[in-house]
Amino acid sequence: MSTTRKILIALLAVFIIIQLFRPDKNQSTAETPNDIFAHYQASENTKQLIHTACYDCHSNNTVYPWYAEIQPVAWWLADHVNEGKSELNFSEFASYAPKKADHKMEEFIEMIKEGEMPLKSYTMIHGDAKLSDEQRAELSKWAEELRAQIQPNIK
């Protein structure tokens, strides 16, 4: 058997074995009483935009694509979602202290206005998450209004 063939067989074996090691999925069926929209108003359009463009990485419930079942892609997605949730978790937003919530919305506005979010790697596959300039303006305006509600509570 040639060396190339042995290497290919070994790589295939490793690929098959790693399929057995799966990360936990970010899917929750539980009520999310601290969800941002349970405590703060937004138009239905704004809610839909945030759910479509943000919630997969920034909430407690991700809608996974088919390729999330393949390792090592699932590990990369799990890491990406965990990192996103550590930066901003809309499902836990109401549990943030007012100062933290204000700062998160300030960062949200900056990322949206500068086109840094949603990530290009996400919108390449999720075309409906691409935001137009008008949608970015709508989200920024909503976040500014939210900050105005939060700021009086900062101590």
Over the stretch 27-75, which tens digit does the pLDDT of each residue have?
776 668 999 999 999 999 999 999 999 998 899 988 888 887 888 888 8
> H or E stretch including 137?
helix 133-150
**Average pLDDT in the 83-91 region?**
93
From the number of C-beta atoms within 10 Å of its C-beta (0-12, 13-18, 19+), residue 118 rates as buried
Over the stretch 117-134, which tens digit does the pLDDT of each residue have?
988 888 888 888 899 999
Mean pLDDT for the chain? 88
How sure is the predictor about 101, in pLDDT bands with cuts at 50, 70 and 90?
A: very high
pLDDT of residue 154: 86
136: tokens are 């970015």
Q: Return the closest-CA partner of residue 54 out of 148, 117, 113.
A: 117
72 preceded by cis ω (within 30°)? yes
Q: What percent of the chain lies above the pLDDT cut of 90?
A: 52
Using DSSP, how many helices (H) and how many strands (E) does the chain show?
7, 0
pLDDT of residue 65: 81
The whole-angstrom separation of Cα 72 and Cα 89 is: 24
Q: How far is CA 129 from the centre of its chain?
A: 11
pLDDT of residue 19: 80
Please report, for the chain, the start and end positions of each structural domain, with discontinuous segments joined by +. 25-153
Residue 129: C-alpha distances to residues 84, 95, 108, 140, 149 (Å): 16, 26, 16, 16, 27
Does the pLDDT value for residue 107 go beyond 90?
A: yes
